[in-house]
Amino acid sequence: MKINISRQYIYILFLSLILLIFVLLFSFLLLIPEGKEYRIQRGELRAISKDVRRYKNFDIETLELLKQLQSDNRHIITALENTFSPDRFQKQYAGHFKTLVLEKQIKSEDKDGFSTYDVNTSSQINSPTSFYNFLDAINKSDWIISINFPIKFKRDAEMIHSTFSMKVYNNKKDLNTTTE
């Protein structure tokens, strides 16, 4: 018995066999190793995406906290930016004292990013309550001021002479900013 297979079928069978071998070689030599590498990289990408989401959430929480602190402490932030004016200070707080005299500012050492000024004052008051009212008013002032101890009170007939020193804190201007 003679098998009669035409040439076209032999060519198609041969071409199919070559294509099958090519597909098998392509899959085992290229696709499967790249698939393993893909799975490894996909795992790394998931870990990186998780870290990015965590950092993004941290960034959002930190930004919300910053905005909350800025709104809660707006008065303090603006007070740090104001420069101290002795004339304005005397005009603003002269009502608490009979007389208020400020000595010249003595620049003291800069600490922790703040420039501080020592201001020595002497005043005459009617009663200690007016001095305490002055201290309450200082807390709401346009500057960050700390009253240093000792505060000396000396009675002179109907008046009380008080002498105290205070420090005025200013935020140092950033020297790295560009001026336009």
Q: What is the pLDDT of residue 82?
A: 76
Q: What is the pLDDT of residue 109?
A: 62
Q: What is the pLDDT of residue 108?
A: 62
Q: Is residue 180 situated within a structural domain?
A: no
**Which of these three, 49, 72, 95, is where a domain ends?**
72
Q: What is the pLDDT of residue 43?
A: 93
Q: What is the pLDDT of residue 104?
A: 62
- The answer to whether residues 108 and 58 belong to one domain is no
d(CA 72, CA 131): 28
- The answer to whether residues 29 and 87 belong to one domain is no
pLDDT tens digits along 9-28: 889 999 999 999 999 998 88
Reference 155, options 127, 122, 120, 121; nearest CA is: 127
**Which of these three, 72, 89, 106, is where a domain ends?**
72
How many structural domains are present in the chain?
Answer: 2
- 3 state DSSP class of 162: strand
- The answer to whether residues 95 and 58 belong to one domain is no
Q: Are 140 and 50 in contact (CB under 8 A)?
A: no
**Which residues does 154 contact at the CB level (< 8 Å), separation at least 6?**
160, 161, 162, 163
Domain of residue 110: give its range: 81-171
- The answer to whether residues 91 and 155 belong to one domain is yes
pLDDT tens digits along 25-52: 988 888 788 878 888 999 999 999 999 9
CATH number at residue 166: 3.30.70.60
**Which of these three, 10, 40, 72, is where a domain ends?**
72
pLDDT in tens, the chain (180 residues): 677 888 898 899 999 999 999 999 988 888 788 878 888 999 999 999 999 999 999 999 999 999 999 888 887 777 777 777 777 777 777 777 777 776 666 666 666 656 566 565 666 676 777 777 877 887 777 777 777 777 777 777 777 777 777 777 777 665 555 554
Q: What is the pLDDT of residue 105?
A: 60
Q: What is the pLDDT of residue 114?
A: 61
